[in-house]
Structure 1
Amino acid sequence: MDAPLFIGSEIYRGSSYGARHPLSIPRVPVVTDLVRALGWLPDGQFRVSPRAKPSALTAWHTPAYIAALQEAERSGSVTEAARARHHIGTLSNPIFPEMFRRPATAAGGSLLATELLTQGGIVFNPGGGTHHGMPDHAGGFCYLNDPVLAIRAFLAQGLTRVAYVDIDAHHCDGVAAAFDGDARVLMISTHEERRWPFTGALEDRAGGQAINLPLPRGTQDAGFALALEEVILPAVQGARPQAIVIQCGADAVAEDPLARLELSNNSHWRAVARLKEMSPRVLVLGGGGYNPWTVGRLWAGVWAVLNGKEPPDRLPERARAVLAGLSWSRRPAAPPDHLVETLRDAPREGAISDELRTRVQVLKARQRVWL
């Protein structure tokens, strides 16, 4: 199999949703610079993300919504009618200079990935993973929904078994809405319980073949390992997917300010390592993550896993400089030393709650019926 491919773009460098928004932080540039500093991204493995054309975006989104995004970017403003209908120009989904071009580039990267994967392989698009976007409106910082567009592109290629695994701290409501009742798509989501958007309950069957596993607040690595080994991997194995899309949101780690899960980045890396062996086509996306140090380190480690690289115990000076050069407006403004000097977190095994054990047993029983 050819070497994995990394999709990136300079549009993410210097672009943000505004100084007070959680996405004021750099993310894709950090992981790009970090893996280059580590010598893990030769030119031959890098692809520049194209910007998806409106005609490609209307495979899921309405023409009226795409036109509204373009007009809001052009004018720098939004009418009250457009704000009410399309949920743009709000605190969560603000007007900013690249508000169409940036998400359209993320979507273009995921669509390019599906073309690159026609004959098999692995592609990483860290700018993707915007799983809350709806056909006619933005949601949860997501203006477009590139996971949906990518899955639809795989199905348009003639694939009939696609697995979507989402380990973001927030439930993938947009993906669930897109594939509700579609037996060709296995949708699995682990996410923090009682966290926005408040969908994805254990009993929630919206999606293709939907498996929702809410994780109790404070879940650590041992709890996620139980979910991975007992629910996620058996379900994916049983589905025999022709393609896997993994949304690898980084907001489930302990230091993230917008969630209350307590994973280390080892959990994400372990999931990607196991899942990448289960299909001939693997597309890994970014997603949430609102601490610049933890996001960059986690996604750099994902790229290491995809390439069979072992992170060094201590980062070389060039890589340390990437992390040391970051800042943000939250406290503490300066991170603990390990977030600058290392890539791998110390494991956070923790105890497994009775609630999580019970939910896993419920899902295992349900899967036996399906399979």
Structure 2
Amino acid sequence: MPTDPPVFIGSEVYRGSSYGRWHPLAVPRVPQVMDLCRALGWLMPGQYRTSPRAKPDVLTWWHTPEYIAALQRAEATQQVSEADRDRHHLGTTANPIYPEMFRRPATSAGGVMLAASLLAQGGVVHCPGGGTHHGFPDRANGFCFLNDPVLAILALKRQGAARVAYVDIDAHHCDGVDHGFRADPSVLVVSLHEADRWPRTGALFDRGLGNLVNLPVPAGFNDSECAFLRDAVILRRVADFRPDAVVLQCGADALLEDPMSRLALSNNAHLAILDGLRPLSPRLMVLGGGGYNPWSVGRLWTRVWGRLAGHEAPEHLPDAAERILSALRWTGLRASRTVEPHWRTTLVDAPRNGPIRPEILQMAATYSTTMV
């Protein structure tokens, strides 16, 4: 395994950029991760790289030229025609017009492209600005204007990774990534997501050409159930696949505090999946994803970087880090929500263990009979 230190890819484009006051993505996310990592002394010289902005011709590896042109046009004019709205789903409630609507996703895409090049000989890269897994070739979808996970997989393959395993632990199914690779046996797509939640794809028995692993879990999904599926299904399938590269989409919306799901995980569950995947491939790229509670997003993705870089979170955060979390606020319709005291003082959640329900056992049994 490579011994080079892991790399963190970020950008200032995320600071102050918002989908609008009433949108779920009004909350800041990547800036507090960058700030917390610096406040904790976890970014050593040479480990931080500024993400470039992907050029339009590179984005057409996956997206249509017409869509990229429409997205650029919408940013430049801050309006969309009725035809572009209907065809490309721009300027909708979910995918609104905002000042950085091309630059920001193109920067996320540029980050994963840079990550793939850094991983050509192996290593570990964290891109918390990535993970927009709902985008389709010719349209925005589910707050995602581009699909940087698809672009990451394509870039890794161009860098020599013949087999890529994509693992997605966001609360929402990765419908865009599924669309891109369900007929490609060189890409394994594993998605753990909440059942009966938008986009309502990713059914248990949807296997594509045998390269899709869908784990639609019930509301209240806890750490014990996650550990069981991790060991019984996720790590086994990835290990059997023998990937040259692993991409982990580490969405924070599966955490108990998130307002956009009914799952009940602590951030320990995400770290445990990360730990299990890390030795299974010489290349590991870790993306962000969903997450609509600014405290839980910042705490999780900062812990992810700490784990990758060999740092353990302190029991109590230093004053500089605590000030960053104390300055965060709920926005829009959630402005009156409670802020729990530990969201400001520690990165580490208490474990959220519980019973392993029969439907979880049955899900694992279903996959155990089809493993080859």
**TM-score, with length taken from structure 2:** 0.97
Amino acid corresponding to residue 254 of structure 2 in structure 1: A
The correspondence of residues 183-202 of structure 1 with structure 2, limited to 5 A, is 183-202=185-204
The correspondence of residues 141-152 of structure 1 with structure 2, limited to 5 A, is 141-152=143-154
| Structure 1 residue 161 corresponds to structure 2 residue 190 | no
Amino acid corresponding to residue 298 of structure 2 in structure 1: G
Comparing 156-165 and 184-193, the one that deviates more: 156-165
- Return the match for 1:363 from 354, 367, 371: 367
What is the Cα deviation at residue 206 of structure 1?
A: 3.3
Amino acid corresponding to residue 349 of structure 1 in structure 2: N
8 Å Cα contact 2:8-2:49 kept in structure 1? yes
Amino acid corresponding to residue 42 of structure 1 in structure 2: M
Amino acid corresponding to residue 361 of structure 1 in structure 2: A
- Return the match for 1:108 from 102, 110, 118: 110
Amino acid corresponding to residue 264 of structure 2 in structure 1: E
What is the Cα deviation at residue 157 of structure 1?
A: 2.5
After superposition, give the CA deviation of every residue in 1:11-37 in whole Å (9 maximum; x if it has no partner).
Answer: 000000000001101100011101110
After superposition, give the CA deviation of every residue in 1:258-283 in whole Å (9 maximum; x if it has no partner).
Answer: 00000000000111111111110000
Amino acid corresponding to residue 17 of structure 1 in structure 2: Y
**Distance (Å, rounded) in 2 between the aligned partners of 1:192 and 1:83:** 29
Amino acid corresponding to residue 355 of structure 1 in structure 2: E
The correspondence of residues 54-203 of structure 1 with structure 2, limited to 5 A, is 54-203=56-205
Comparing 229-238 and 201-210, the one that deviates more: 201-210
| Structure 1 residue 23 corresponds to structure 2 residue 32 | no
**TM-score, with length taken from structure 1:** 0.98
After superposition, give the CA deviation of every residue in 1:323-362 in whole Å (9 maximum; x if it has no partner).
Answer: 0010112154451111111100000001111111101110
**Distance (Å, rounded) in 1 between the aligned partners of 2:232 and 2:305:** 25
What is the Cα deviation at residue 158 of structure 1?
A: 3.1
Describe the SS at the equivalent of 2:192: strand
Amino acid corresponding to residue 293 of structure 2 in structure 1: N
Gaps of 5+ in 1: none
The aligned residue for residue 237 of structure 2 is 235
- Return the match for 1:336 from 340, 346, 349: 340
The correspondence of residues 240-255 of structure 1 with structure 2, limited to 5 A, is 240-255=242-257
Amino acid corresponding to residue 310 of structure 1 in structure 2: E
**Distance (Å, rounded) in 2 between the aligned partners of 1:314 and 1:279:** 33
The CA RMSD measured in Å over matched residues stands at 1.0
After superposition, give the CA deviation of every residue in 1:192-238 in whole Å (9 maximum; x if it has no partner).
Answer: 00010000010112377100001111101001111101000011111
| Structure 1 residue 345 corresponds to structure 2 residue 361 | no
State the percentage of identical aligned residues: 58
| Structure 1 residue 264 corresponds to structure 2 residue 237 | no
**Distance (Å, rounded) in 2 between the aligned partners of 1:358 and 1:31:** 37
8 Å Cα contact 1:50-1:109 kept in structure 2? yes
8 Å Cα contact 1:184-1:208 kept in structure 2? no
| Structure 1 residue 33 corresponds to structure 2 residue 23 | no
Aligned residues: 368
The correspondence of residues 191-230 of structure 1 with structure 2, limited to 5 A, is 191-206=193-208, 209-230=211-232
8 Å Cα contact 1:182-1:208 kept in structure 2? no
208 and 79 in structure 1: CA distance in 2 versus 1, 3 angstrom threshold: farther
**Distance (Å, rounded) in 2 between the aligned partners of 1:70 and 1:22:** 23
Amino acid corresponding to residue 212 of structure 2 in structure 1: A
**Distance (Å, rounded) in 2 between the aligned partners of 1:349 and 1:282:** 28
**Distance (Å, rounded) in 2 between the aligned partners of 1:207 and 1:13:** 41
- Return the match for 1:47 from 46, 49, 52: 49
**Distance (Å, rounded) in 2 between the aligned partners of 1:50 and 1:146:** 13
Describe the SS at the equivalent of 2:370: helix
What is the Cα deviation at residue 42 of structure 1?
A: 2.1
The aligned residue for residue 14 of structure 2 is 12
The aligned residue for residue 297 of structure 1 is 299
245 and 208 in structure 1: CA distance in 2 versus 1, 3 angstrom threshold: farther
8 Å Cα contact 1:86-1:137 kept in structure 2? yes
What is the Cα deviation at residue 123 of structure 1?
A: 0.2
**Distance (Å, rounded) in 2 between the aligned partners of 1:30 and 1:277:** 28
Comparing 342-351 and 204-213, the one that deviates more: 204-213
